[in-house]
Amino acid sequence: MSGADQETEGRANELYWTSDLSVNQIAEELDLSKGMLYELVHPAPAGLACPECSEEVVYANRTARDRALLACPRCGWEGDEDEADLGVGDGSVVLPEAMDADADAAPAPGIPADPGRKRVMVGGALLGAAAGLALVLWSRRR
């Protein structure tokens, strides 16, 4: 794939997953047919694991993301976010990326912007750390 093709593919995924533009508007902006646009767009990783095989699950399209419907590319499992596991692959918990100076920048192509999920994950991690610290301090007093 040439550099221009890769650039178009990256831009198509970025616009599809991070903008509110319709598919027709994105295709028009990139001078593509809708069919070609759909060929360029990849499923977006959800940061959750399949409950059947532990592979990272994906959102097949924006409608699936909006409805919290996931699919596993490995085993074909389909379900909603509540049914998926927090750990991906080796059982580790997926934590949000550290915030930096470019926090307002658009996410990488193919990755949906979801600041609400990041806040929940960070809050859960902090709550877990506080509970662990309280347990250690309590056990030392006894």
Ordered DSSP codes for 26-94: HHHHTT--HHHHHHHPPPEEEEEE-TTT-PEEEESSHHHHHTTEEE-TTT--EEEGGGSBSEETTTEEP
- pLDDT score at 114: 55
- How high is the mean pLDDT in each 10-residue block of the chain (142 residues)? 77 94 94 93 93 92 94 93 71 45 50 60 74 77 74
C-alpha 130/C-alpha 9 separation (Å) is 43
pLDDT for 113 equals: 53
Helix, strand, coil % (nearest 5) of the chain? 45, 15, 40
The string over 22-57, giving b where at least 16 C-beta atoms fall within 10 Å of a residue's C-beta and e elsewhere, is eeeebbeebebeeeebeebbebbbbbbbbeeebebb
Residue 48 amino acid letter: L
Considering the entire predicted model, what is its pTM?
A: 0.57
